[in-house]
């Protein structure tokens, strides 16, 4: 026994020496591979979570990076075991898309400046000048990317996994599905990808989905005359964003970008800075590449540019102007009218509207979320409060990335109907309500004023004299 023990100890000692040596070798390996360059090893730019409306869905839901079909069961459980899901409405944003014409022009400008003027010996700059190609062109104008189709087909599978009794083949066959989309090609392509996702999940290619286009509902912002006159077509409506462009925070970003390129400060306008940031964002969103453009920005720069984007959305689609939210009155009533119909039908046990899928834009979702009172900070975002708004709730990177989705699920429970809201597959609490799935009646009480008013016609029509 003693002998054996002795041997064992010796062996253990030797083993631990070997292990220690191995550790040193492995350790030096990992030091080598990390290099001096923390970004060089990752597909994901360090600034990826600041891309605002150009952000990837995975940044808002990082667990999807390990498993794109992962569903967090605790987020989609019924409020209690006696509850039965009777209806789901999902309002979606289209998937990852190519940039629009306007931005492609600025992208070409910063690229040509980098080619002709930039100086410096960093490898990322050489990559930009010799390896990177200007692969964006004006024909791409806002179209869906393959990544955007994948966004929606994966989302379809996750939603069907989350709510299998609602998003079911049987409900589709029985015409208990309603699918509506904006007529924009990126939305139509997104809804087709969503349908394909379900067809693949159900291993059935002969299903008929029958989606209809409805711009009155999904592109209400194009039809609200007051919104067009007061905001969309009003050069002073976004003054706070314009002012922020000349604030020290933005100027500092411009100077840092100019320094990194070794060009005169006067050559780097805010438009060019934004274009370079977009090049990083689009290379990543579309191709999952950590582009050399990303090296022009550190985290602080990215936060400043995120704020610039949030200022735009806040004043153009959010709380900045009251008409922004009111322009979504028709979508609001469409939702609650349907929930009311389902509530009534469920009393008779004959719900036919089990599933409503609506495909739109960031410009569709943000006004509605704002109308519903979500993500409202105490003070408005403006050009001079970047620092005090650091912890703001209105942060589009988290609210409205590509494939963003607002999901409302109505449950029939012993104590009455309950309504659960999810944004990007995470619980969303109704303003001033502490229950994750309050009684439907309670939700309606909170929105009483809107339910009784909020007329699209009244809010959006202009007096004859102003037309």
Please provide the distance, in angstroms rounded to a whole number, between the alpha carbons at the two ends of the chain. Answer: 101
354 binds ligand NAG, rule: CB under 6 A: no
- Residue number, 234 or 455, with CB nearest to ligand NAG: 234
Total Cβ atoms within 10 A of residue 202: 16
Binders in 74-103 for ligand NAG, by CB under 6 A: 74-75
- Residue number, 142 or 373, with CB nearest to ligand NAG: 373
Q: Which segment (253-261, 377-385, 413-421, 437-445) binds ligand NAG by CB under 6 A?
A: 377-385
- Residue number, 39 or 229, with CB nearest to ligand NAG: 229
DSSP 53: G
Residue labelled with tokens 């010996």: 121
Q: Which segment (35-43, 47-55, 183-191, 225-233) binds ligand NAG by CB under 6 A?
A: 225-233
By CB under 6 A, name the one of 39, 223, 267, 442 that touches ligand NAG.
Answer: 267
Tokens found for residue 437: 């799935």
CB of 373 to ligand NAG, least distance (A): 3
The backbone torsions φ and ψ at residue 94, rounded to the nearest 5 degrees and listed phi first, read: -55, 165
Beta 212-213 vs 177-181: how paired, if at all?
parallel
- Determine the angle formed by the axes of helices 146-162 and 270-287, rounding to 10 degrees: 60
Q: Which segment (9-17, 187-195, 378-386, 417-425) binds ligand NAG by CB under 6 A?
A: 378-386
Helices and strands per DSSP (H, E), number in the chain = 21, 7
- What residues are labeled active site? 94
Exposure on the CB side of residue 461, measured as CA atoms within 13 A: 7
By CB under 6 A, name the one of 176, 196, 373, 433 that touches ligand NAG.
Answer: 373
List CB contacts of 438: < 8 A, sequence separation 6 or more.
418, 419, 430
- Residue number, 205 or 378, with CB nearest to ligand NAG: 378
Find out whether 450 and 332 touch, Cβ atoms under 8 Å: yes
> Which 3-state string (H, E, C) describes 271-289?
HHHHHHHHHHHHHHHHHCC
Binders in 107-136 for ligand NAG, by CB under 6 A: 113, 119
By CB under 6 A, name the one of 63, 105, 252, 441 that touches ligand NAG.
Answer: 63
68 binds ligand NAG, rule: CB under 6 A: no
By CB under 6 A, name the one of 350, 434, 452, 465 that touches ligand NAG.
Answer: 350
List CB contacts of 137: < 8 A, sequence separation 6 or more.
104
Total Cβ atoms within 10 A of residue 279: 26
Tokens found for residue 180: 């509506």
Count residues binding ligand NAG (CB under 6 A).
Answer: 31
Q: Which segment (100-108, 187-195, 426-434, 449-457) binds ligand NAG by CB under 6 A?
A: 426-434
- CA 26, 31, 35, 40 torsion: positive or negative? positive
Q: Collapse the DSSP code of 362 into the 3-class scheme (helix H, G, I; strand E, B; otherwise coil) and give the result.
A: helix
432 binds ligand NAG, rule: CB under 6 A: yes
List CB contacts of 399: < 8 A, sequence separation 6 or more.
366, 369, 375, 423, 424
- Residue number, 290 or 383, with CB nearest to ligand NAG: 383
387 binds ligand NAG, rule: CB under 6 A: no
- Residue number, 358 or 389, with CB nearest to ligand NAG: 389
By CB under 6 A, name the one of 345, 413, 433, 451 that touches ligand NAG.
Answer: 345
Q: Which segment (10-18, 71-79, 168-176, 413-421) binds ligand NAG by CB under 6 A?
A: 71-79
8 binds ligand NAG, rule: CB under 6 A: no
Find out whether 406 and 368 touch, Cβ atoms under 8 Å: yes
Q: What is the spatial distance between Cα 249 and Cα 265, in angstroms, rounded to a whole number?
A: 15
233 binds ligand NAG, rule: CB under 6 A: yes
One symbol per residue from 301 to 340: x for binding ligand NAG (CB under 6 A), - otherwise; what is it?
Answer: ----------------------------------------
Q: Which residues bind ligand NAG (CB under 6 A)?
A: 63, 72, 74-75, 113, 119, 228-230, 233-234, 236-237, 264, 266-267, 341, 344-345, 348, 350, 373, 379, 382, 384-385, 388, 427, 431-432, 446
């Amino acid at each position: 026994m003693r002998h054996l023990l002795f041997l064992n100890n010796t062996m253990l000692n030797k083993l631990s020496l070997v292990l220690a040596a191995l550790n040193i070798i492995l350790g030096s390996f990992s030091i080598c591979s990390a290099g001096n360059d923390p970004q060089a090893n990752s597909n994901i730019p360090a600034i990826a979570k600041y891309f605002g409306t150009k952000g990837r869905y995975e940044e808002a839901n990082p667990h999807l990076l390990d498993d794109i079909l992962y569903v967090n069961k605790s987020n989609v459980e019924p409020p209690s075991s006696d509850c039965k899901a009777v209806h789901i409405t999902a309002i979606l944003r289209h998937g990852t898309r190519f940039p629009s014409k306007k931005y492609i022009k600025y992208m070409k400008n910063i690229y040509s400046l980098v080619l002709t003027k930039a100086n410096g010996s960093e490898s990322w700059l050489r990559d930009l000048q010799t390896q990177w190609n200007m692969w964006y062109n004006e024909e791409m104008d806002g179209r869906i990317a393959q990544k955007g189709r994948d966004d929606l087909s994966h989302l379809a599978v996750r939603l069907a996994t989350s709510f299998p009794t609602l998003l079911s083949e049987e409900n589709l066959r029985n015409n208990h599905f309603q699918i509506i989309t904006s007529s924009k090609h990126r939305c139509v392509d997104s809804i087709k990808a969503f349908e394909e996702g379900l067809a693949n999940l159900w291993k059935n290619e002969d299903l008929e989905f029958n989606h209809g286009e409805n711009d009155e509902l999904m592109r209400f912002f194009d039809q609200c005359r007051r919104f067009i006159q007061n905001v969309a077509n009003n050069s002073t409506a976004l003054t706070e964003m314009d002012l922020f462009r000349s604030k020290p925070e933005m100027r500092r970003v411009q100077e840092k970008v100019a320094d990194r390129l070794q060009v005169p400060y006067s050559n780097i306008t805010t438009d060019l800075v934004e274009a370079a940031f977009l090049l990083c964002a689009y290379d990543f969103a579309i191709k999952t590449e950590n582009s050399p453009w990303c090296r022009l920005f550190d985290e602080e720069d990215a936060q400043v540019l995120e704020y610039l984007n949030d200022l735009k959305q806040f004043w153009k689609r959010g709380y900045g102007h009251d008409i922004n939210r009111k322009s979504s009155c028709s979508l609001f009533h469409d939702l609650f009218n349907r929930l009311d119909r389902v509530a009534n039908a469920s009393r008779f046990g004959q719900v036919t509207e089990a599933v409503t899928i609506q495909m739109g834009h960031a410009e569709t979702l943000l006004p509605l979320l704002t109308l519903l009172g979500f993500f409202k900070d105490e003070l408005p975002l403006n050009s001079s409060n970047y620092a005090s708004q650091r912890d703001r709730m209105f942060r589009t990177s988290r609210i409205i990335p590509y494939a963003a989705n607002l999901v409302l699920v109505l449950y029939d429970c012993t104590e009455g109907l309950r309504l659960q809201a999810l944004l990007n597959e995470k619980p969303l609490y109704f303003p001033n309500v502490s229950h994750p799935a309050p009684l439907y009646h309670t939700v309606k009480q909170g929105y009483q004023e809107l339910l009784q008013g909020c007329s699209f016609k009244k809010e959006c029509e202009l007096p004859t004299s102003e037309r």
